[in-house]
Amino acid sequence: MIPILFQDECLAVCLKPPGTLSQDGPGGSLPSMLREQLGCGIFPVHRLDREAGGVMVYAKTSRAAGALSQEIAQGRFQKRYLCVTQGAPEDSEGIYRDLLLHDKARNKSFVVGRMRGGVKEASLEYQTLSVQDGQALVSVRLHTGRTHQIRVQFASRGTPLLGDRKYGGGEGALMLWSCALGFYHPQKGSLLTFTAPPRGDRWDVFQTELDALQ
C-alpha cells in the first residue's frame, strides 16, 4: 500500500517509495499503483527520480492537473529536498547556478560552459544542516526542475549524493528525499503544505536533525 498523506476529490498526496517510477511507464509505476489503490484517475504533474523517494502530489482530474501544472510554471509550487553528500559543500549555504545539458540516450545530465541547443539554466539554493563522519545532510530548494538537477549540481562540485552510482556517489540507496511540498489547492485556493522526513537506511546518522524538521 502506498502511504497517503491527504486526498480529496481533486488531489492525492502520497509518499513515493524509492525504486518506483513517478510517471506512467513499465515496471510498476506509482500512478498505476495509485489508480488501483484509490480507484480513480491519477494525473502526474511533477517528477521525482526513480531512485529517490518522498512526498509527491497527483491530480485526480485533468482540470486539477492543469491548475497544478500552471502553479509549477509560475514558480508558485514549492519543493524541498533532503540529501546526504559525500563531503560537505564548501559554504554552509548558498545558491548553485549552472547550465545543464541532458543526454537522453545516456539519461545523464552534464554541467556545460555555454548556452547552446538543448542546454537549460539550472538553479537551486541549499543549506547544510549537519556534518557527520565526512557526510553532510543538506536541505535543498529547487528554483528550476531539470533532470537529475540536484544530483549533477552537487556532483560537479565534488560532493556527489551518497549512493548515486550515476554521478560518482558509490553504491547503496540514493540518499535523496522529497521532504516537503507547498502548493495552492486547485479548487479552493487554500495553501497546502506537507512534510515527511526520511527514515531508515543511512538517514539514521542524522536522526536528531530529521526529528527537528517535523
Catalogue the active-site residues: 49
Closest to 177 in 3D by CA, of 208, 144, 134, 213:
213
Going along the chain, which residue ranges are E strands?
A: 4-7, 11-16, 43-44, 53-59, 78-86, 93-103, 108-112, 119-132, 135-142, 176-184, 191-195
Cβ atoms of 183 and 68 within 8 Å: the answer is: yes
The alpha carbon torsion through 192, 35, 149, 178 (nearest 10 deg) reads 50
Q: How far is CA 188 from CA 20, 63, 167, in A?
A: 31, 13, 41
